[in-house]
Amino acid sequence: MKRQQLSTNEQNFVGSSLISGRRIDLRSLNEIRDLSISFGSKYGQVMVKLGKTKVISSIQATVAQPFKDRPQEGFCRVRISLSNVSTIDIESNRKSQSDTLEIQRMIEDSYRESRVVDLESLCIIPDIWVWEIVCNVHVVDNDGNISDAANIATILSLSHFKLPQVTIKNGKAIIHTDEEKELIPLSIYHLPISVSFGLFEKGEIIIVDPCLIEEKTIEGRIIMMVNIHEEICSIRKGGGTPLTLDQILYCTKLASEKAKEISLIIDRELEKDLKLKTKQEYDNRHLISSILMKDEQTIKSSLPFPISNSLEETILDKIRNIQSLSWTNKNSTIEIEISELSKFTNLSLNLEQKKDTVQVINQKNVDKSGDEDENENENDDDFEANNNYSDDEEDENLNQRNEQFKEFIEITNILQNQNLSKKELELLNQLNSVSSSNNKTNNEKKESQEIILNNQKKIQNNEIEKINSKKNLKKNENHKPDEIDFSIAINPQFQTLKKK
């Protein structure tokens, strides 16, 4: 049996502190906890943190049959789930699950009646097929006020989500993937925001956004959902101390103020996230946010505890791999996916020495958008003029690029002998096909490649020994790179042509 009530110490203390006008975490009576929002890798995935309460939501869109009396309306539903993960001390019973049911119904009903989502736009073929959108909300950490956090999460995931396009031909509906046609966002009219109040001392003391301990000592609760346009979407009061009219009006005023604050934060975060338009940028968002350290020297000084040398190696290599990544521009023809960064090879050390040789290969004009610093002072006319190379220069560039590209392929061929995943093999085959279109026949190539391979292996081994002796690395004998996942990226910044 886990304890379901607070101890008498806590209850008495919280009560007496509220009477004297103070809250435990040094907030004022009308203050909300810090809100922080982060988006997931797919459209519609959101994580919301209100102080210590954490809530995750995601959206499922499926095709379903509509109701017969409403043949042109889709469905928009919400499901909230608490689990034992979120509340350890105070047990999650049927009683607390009935709390989540209450919140779930409140959100669903208020969204439907105040028409947040345009349900008729979710219709595919009237009376037959209709989109059903379900928002699943999971409470990861419960520190009070789940209703507010869940509401913010559902709004954000609904306004962040994008539906695939549907075309109708001959009575059949075809759902297009996001590669064929762009995704469309849902049509949302307004964003209702819920503000929950805690009542104490027969309604004379009103708190905003109670935390878990305060929720257990409060005598009653009232939840209001208000718009940024000061329109009340719903009010819910389930039991507890009675309130007078004046107190309710006071609550509505407070709620509209808080709703404006929260909606500003929501709009700001949505704008930031939806500015990332290209799909690659969107998928690689998390990699950008994980790069904090740029210099190798700052790792040791930034950590408060000492690290062994092997751990330091692993961290440094991961950082080097991330730093060498970039995202190709639209004009480039080769795009390589980024595989797991958790593993690294000794070959990565050699690649860094050869960074200058790896280039973006454009079959059209050279793309100079990577060198932004150089182009800042130039006008647009000069920029265009620089892009037009003369014929002589083009030939020289092509030759040099081909030679460097060969070296690039040699490295990849080395790795073909080792265990690679299917995706990486496909990509390497693409590379080889591109190279074959340029010059020699396949036989000549293979011979040259074999020779170069053998030479290169020797060079690599020598170089590895040199590097290791210089740095005095201590290797764990147990560490053996059995599987090698190779992460390459082509950096448009490295366009310095090698002069031989």
Which residues form the interface with another protein (CB under 8 A)? 1-3, 5-13, 16-17, 20, 22, 24-26, 89, 303, 305-309, 311, 474, 478
Nearest to another protein of 3, 172 (CB atom) = 3
Q: How far apart are CA 58 and CA 135, in angstroms?
A: 6
Please report how close the Cβ of residue 297 comes to another protein at its closest, in angstroms. Answer: 18
Count how many residues are written for the chain: 500
Please report how close the Cβ of residue 8 comes to another protein at its closest, in angstroms. Answer: 5
Please report how close the Cβ of residue 308 comes to another protein at its closest, in angstroms. Answer: 4
Nearest to another protein of 212, 360 (CB atom) = 212
**How many other C-beta atoms are found inside a 10 Å radius of the C-beta of residue 41?**
10
Instruction: Please list, in sequence order, all residues whose beta carbon lies within 8 angstroms of the beta carbon of residue 450, skipping any fewer than 6 positions away.
Output: none
Q: What residue spans of 328-441 are helical by DSSP H? A: 347-353, 372-375, 380-387, 391-416, 422-438
Instruction: Please list, in sequence order, all residues whose beta carbon lies within 8 angstroms of the beta carbon of residue 367, skipping any fewer than 6 positions away.
Output: 329, 331, 332, 360, 492
Nearest to another protein of 5, 377 (CB atom) = 5
Determine the residue type at 477.
Answer: E
Please report how close the Cβ of residue 91 comes to another protein at its closest, in angstroms. Answer: 10
Please report how close the Cβ of residue 11 comes to another protein at its closest, in angstroms. Answer: 8
Please report how close the Cβ of residue 6 comes to another protein at its closest, in angstroms. Answer: 7
Nearest to another protein of 83, 333 (CB atom) = 83
The DSSP call for residue 239 is S
Please report how close the Cβ of residue 318 comes to another protein at its closest, in angstroms. Answer: 14
Q: How far apart are CA 345 and CA 52, in angstroms?
A: 40
Please report how close the Cβ of residue 257 comes to another protein at its closest, in angstroms. Answer: 22
Q: Positive or negative CA dihedral for 18, 152, 247, 5?
A: negative
Reference 40, options 18, 56, 53; nearest CA is 56
Nearest to another protein of 6, 130 (CB atom) = 6
**How many other C-beta atoms are found inside a 10 Å radius of the C-beta of residue 77?**
15
Nearest to another protein of 26, 292 (CB atom) = 26
Nearest to another protein of 239, 306 (CB atom) = 306
Nearest to another protein of 132, 312 (CB atom) = 312
Q: Which two tokens stand for residue 43?
A: 């459209």
Q: What residue spans of 21-81 are helical by DSSP H? A: none
**Cβ-count burial of 192 within 10 angstroms (0-12 exposed, 13-18 middle, 19+ buried)?**
buried
Residue with tokens 């030759």: 399
* E runs forming strands in 15-52: 35-39, 46-50
Please report how close the Cβ of residue 347 comes to another protein at its closest, in angstroms. Answer: 25
Reference 202, options 245, 250, 251, 242; nearest CA is 242
Nearest to another protein of 6, 255 (CB atom) = 6
100-122 in b/e burial notation, b at 16+ Cβ within 10 A? beebbebbbebbeebebbebeeb
Please report how close the Cβ of residue 7 comes to another protein at its closest, in angstroms. Answer: 5
Please report how close the Cβ of residue 13 comes to another protein at its closest, in angstroms. Answer: 4
Nearest to another protein of 13, 250 (CB atom) = 13
Nearest to another protein of 28, 419 (CB atom) = 28
The answer to whether 165 and 181 are in contact (CB under 8 A) is: yes
The DSSP call for residue 188 is B
